[in-house]
């Protein structure tokens, strides 16, 4: 950008300074690039921590990208290094670690930092870095992009829980782009003289020449602009670029939107009428609408669903319906005729591929910059009302309230809209949503609600979500793990509802016992009576309720009916446990790990159920009839394996009589 010109630099002694070419991507920003280069080379007196900030749309992200090009050996080879100001060029060092926070929770970002630095992801990254003596260089792009749910406030959490503690560590050399309101918080604990806040809107860092170069490049047909009277001739193009920059007051986004408006809808655009050029992002929207003979408020309503959208963007088929929801009236006709009206402000992109949910061929739409989205939101008179109507419209788009058939956007991001509307607790009663929604996104939304406002099902989901995320569980496994969690928490109707979703759950949780210190559990039968009773025998502390000591002092035990968990008045020595022959003849077998167990079919050796746990497995056993007993710090559960064995081995009469079907 702007590399056809050279820029004057100055020297402190007043002597003539050499003329250097501007950075071809940034187009200017020489004082800032010098400061960043000094930071990278740890120049004496240079800060150890830099918070790069400015108003949204000030070009801070583009500036950081341009600086990283100078830090990356491959990118440097493609730049005119000999023509650049040497003071803006960092030393020839390996590229710094650049963990991106885009869309990540704080926990996910910490794991990303660990991966970049080659640290153990399960360790405390801050402790690991605090113990280091050699410096660690981190560059963190736009913190404002953090978090899977906008209303959850993840950027502030990321600064408080991760970046500010890292910045305080002497071994960490940090450069990050942060919103202005978080810059001081980031540097608060850094010793004096080791931190610097570079505000791109401050006079000492302003770059009017770079803004002109930005406009000139965007208008240049050689850089992709269409051939128009005010773009093909150099003099009119240069005059328009200067006028755009002068009106934009340092905002690169305002310049970009004004140029897009002129290039995509040139009819009626008069480059000589500089008073009609926009001075702010909001004016860029309003002036474009008026030039096309439309009401600016209509344009804002059409763009509002994109400003309120979550994730990577809004599916194109939903856009028109949600615009009507925001306006609270039918905008079908207006939306159908609005292509030219909305075009300068909207980007289209393909949905992320490889999601496995049928989303690969969908088109997403989003606003060209987060600052434009923020400006549209600020002008909405009632965001909560708009989000409420959007949420209702999204719910209507779930076919038959079957979440497995819902659009991935609706399924994963409805929670974000209801959070912004203040209605999320009311949504958190649907087991189908719990099973099918992305647990990372849904957990972030639920965590943003005060715990006292959450109902029992939501609290169960919240405690189970880390396990769903850690195991990358499929909807079927999510449903199975939640079915057990609901049973543990006494929410049997919710557990039962998960069996009605049409998913082939691998088990049905028969019962759950609260934690009593049980360290082992085994299956057996209690002889006597007309039919032997299958039981579970739990090893517990002697002080546990109902515990009966074993003769000889080898611990204490409690006995429960295997079918329903009812306590039985029986001595543990009365219980008969299956023999090795009986276990070998059973259709299923058990394999145990520290944080999981697996049940597999003996004949095919295929796993029929994998049971991950959120705490170490203390004891596990599998009855010959396929009831899995499991004890962890959360207590004891009994799960009936629902798979049909490939071929049920023949059993002896004694085994058949001892193990009646518990199903």
Q: pLDDT tens digit string along 606-651?
A: 999 999 998 899 999 999 999 999 999 999 999 999 999 885 545 4
Q: What pLDDT, on the 0 to 100 scale, is given for residue 560?
A: 96
- Number of alpha carbons in the 13 Å side-chain half-sphere of residue 604: 12
**Among candidate residues 590, 582, 581, the one with its CA nearest the CA of residue 608:** 590
Q: What pLDDT, on the 0 to 100 scale, is given for residue 572?
A: 87
Alpha carbons 322 and 306: distance in angstroms, whole number: 9
- Quick check: 7 and 209 in contact, CB under 8 A? yes
Instruction: Give the residue-averaged pLDDT of 558-569.
Output: 94
28 vs 11, residue with greater confidence: 28
Residue linked to tokens 């959850």: 152
Q: What pLDDT, on the 0 to 100 scale, is given for residue 57?
A: 87
Residue linked to tokens 């929670």: 415
Q: What pLDDT, on the 0 to 100 scale, is given for residue 196?
A: 97
- Out of 12-16, 116-120, 189-193, 431-435, pick the least confident: 12-16
Q: What pLDDT, on the 0 to 100 scale, is given for residue 291?
A: 95
Alpha carbons 545 and 310: distance in angstroms, whole number: 50
Q: What pLDDT, on the 0 to 100 scale, is given for residue 262?
A: 96
pLDDT band at 23 (very low <50, low <70, confident <90, very high): confident
Proportion of the chain above pLDDT 90, given as a percent: 73
Residue 532: is it exposed, middle or buried by C-beta count within 10 angstroms (0-12/13-18/19+)? middle
Alpha carbons 129 and 166: distance in angstroms, whole number: 8
Proportion of the chain above pLDDT 70, given as a percent: 93
Main-chain phi, psi angles of 572, to 5 degrees: -60, -30
Helices marked H in 382-438: 383-396, 408-421, 424-427, 431-436
Average per-residue pLDDT for the chain: 90
pTM of the full predicted structure?
0.88
- Number of alpha carbons in the 13 Å side-chain half-sphere of residue 577: 12
Q: What pLDDT, on the 0 to 100 scale, is given for residue 18?
A: 59
Alpha carbons 601 and 648: distance in angstroms, whole number: 10
pLDDT of 394 higher than 70: yes
Alpha carbons 171 and 501: distance in angstroms, whole number: 52
Complete edge-to-edge strand list for the sheet that includes strand 314-315: 314-315, 363-367, 346-350
Q: What pLDDT, on the 0 to 100 scale, is given for residue 357?
A: 47
Q: What pLDDT, on the 0 to 100 scale, is given for residue 353?
A: 56
Instruction: Give the residue-averaged pLDDT of 337-344.
Output: 96
Taking CA atoms, 467 is separated from 109, 376, 434, 435, 660, in Å, by: 18, 38, 13, 13, 34
508 vs 356, residue with greater confidence: 508
- Out of 354-363, 398-407, 549-558, pick the least confident: 354-363
pLDDT of 5 higher than 70: no
User: pLDDT digits over 395-449, tens only?
Assistant: 999 999 999 999 999 999 999 999 999 999 999 999 999 999 999 999 999 999 9
pLDDT of 337 higher than 90: yes
Tell me how many degrees the CA angle 513-518-524 measures, rounded to the nearest 5: 80
User: pLDDT digits over 85-98, tens only?
Assistant: 898 889 888 889 99
Task: Give the helix, strand, coil percentages of the chain, each rounded to 5.
Answer: 45, 15, 40
Residue linked to tokens 């009428």: 273
Instruction: Give the residue-averaged pLDDT of 482-507.
Output: 97
């Amino acid at each position: 950008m702007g590399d056809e010109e050279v820029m004057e630099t100055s020297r402190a002694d007043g002597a003539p300074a050499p003329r250097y070419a501007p950075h071809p991507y940034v187009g200017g920003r020489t004082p800032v690039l010098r400061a960043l280069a000094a930071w990278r080379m740890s120049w004496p007196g240079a800060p150890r921590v830099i918070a790069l900030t400015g108003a949204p749309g000030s070009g801070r992200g583009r500036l950081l990208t341009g600086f990283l090009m100078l830090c990356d050996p491959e990118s440097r080879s493609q730049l005119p290094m000999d023509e650049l100001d040497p003071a803006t060029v960092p030393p020839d060092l390996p590229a710094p670690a650049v963990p991106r926070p885009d869309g990540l929770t704080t926990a996910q970002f910490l794991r990303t930092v660990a991966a970049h630095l080659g640290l153990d992801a399960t360790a405390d990254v801050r402790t690991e870095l605090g113990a280091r003596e050699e410096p660690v260089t981190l560059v963190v792009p736009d913190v404002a992009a953090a978090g899977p749910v906008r209303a959850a406030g993840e950027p502030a959490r990321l600064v408080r829980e991760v970046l500010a503690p890292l910045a305080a560590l002497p071994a960490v050399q940090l450069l990050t782009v942060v919103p202005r309101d978080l810059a001081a918080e980031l540097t608060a604990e850094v010793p004096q003289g080791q931190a610097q806040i570079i505000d791109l809107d401050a006079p000492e860092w302003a770059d009017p020449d770079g803004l002109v170069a930005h406009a000139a490049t965007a208008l240049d047909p050689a850089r992709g602009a269409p051939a128009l009277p005010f773009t093909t001739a150099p003099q009119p193009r240069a005059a328009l670029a200067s006028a755009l920059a002068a009106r934009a007051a340092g905002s690169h986004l305002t310049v970009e939107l004004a140029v897009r408006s002129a290039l995509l809808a040139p009819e009626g655009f008069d480059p000589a009428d500089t008073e009609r050029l926009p001075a702010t992002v909001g004016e860029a929207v309003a002036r474009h609408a008026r030039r096309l003979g439309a009401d600016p408020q209509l344009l804002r309503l059409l763009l509002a669903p994109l400003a309120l959208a979550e994730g990577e963007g809004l599916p194109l088929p939903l856009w028109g319906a949600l615009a009507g929801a925001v306006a609270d009236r039918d905008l079908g006709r207006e939306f159908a005729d609005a292509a030219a009206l909305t075009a300068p402000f909207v980007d289209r992109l393909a949905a992320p591929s490889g999601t496995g949910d049928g989303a690969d061929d969908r088109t997403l739409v989003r606003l060209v910059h987060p600052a434009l989205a923020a400006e549209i939101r600020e002008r909405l008179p009632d965001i909560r009302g708009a989000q409420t109507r959007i949420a209702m419209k999204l719910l209507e788009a779930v076919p038959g309230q079957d979440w497995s058939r819902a659009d991935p956007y609706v399924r994963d991001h409805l929670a974000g809209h209801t959070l912004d509307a203040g209605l999320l607790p009311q949504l958190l009663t649907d087991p189908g949503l719990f099973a099918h929604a992305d647990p990372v996104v849904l957990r972030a939304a639920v965590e943003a609600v005060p715990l006292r406002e959450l109902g029992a099902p939501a609290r169960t989901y919240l405690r189970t979500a880390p396990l769903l995320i850690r195991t990358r569980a499929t909807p079927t496994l999510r449903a199975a793990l939640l079915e057990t969690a609901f049973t543990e928490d006494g929410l049997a109707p919710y557990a039962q509802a998960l069996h009605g979703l049409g998913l082939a759950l691998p088990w049905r949780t028969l019962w759950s016992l609260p934690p009593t210190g049980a360290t082992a559990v085994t299956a057996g039968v209690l002889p006597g009576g007309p039919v032997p009773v299958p039981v579970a025998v739990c090893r517990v502390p002697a002080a546990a309720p109902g515990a009966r000591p074993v003769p000889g002092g080898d611990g204490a035990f409690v006995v429960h009916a295997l079918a329903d968990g009812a306590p039985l008045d029986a001595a543990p020595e009365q219980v008969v446990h299956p023999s090795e022959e009986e276990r070998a003849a059973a259709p299923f077998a058990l394999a145990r790990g520290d944080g999981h167990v697996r049940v597999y079919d003996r004949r095919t050796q295929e796993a029929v159920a994998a049971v991950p746990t959120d705490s170490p497995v203390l004891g596990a056993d599998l009855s010959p009839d396929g009831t899995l007993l499991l004890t962890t710090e959360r207590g004891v559960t009994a799960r009936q394996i629902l798979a049909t064995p490939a071929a049920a081995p023949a059993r002896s009469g004694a085994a058949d009589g001892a193990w009646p079907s518990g199903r």
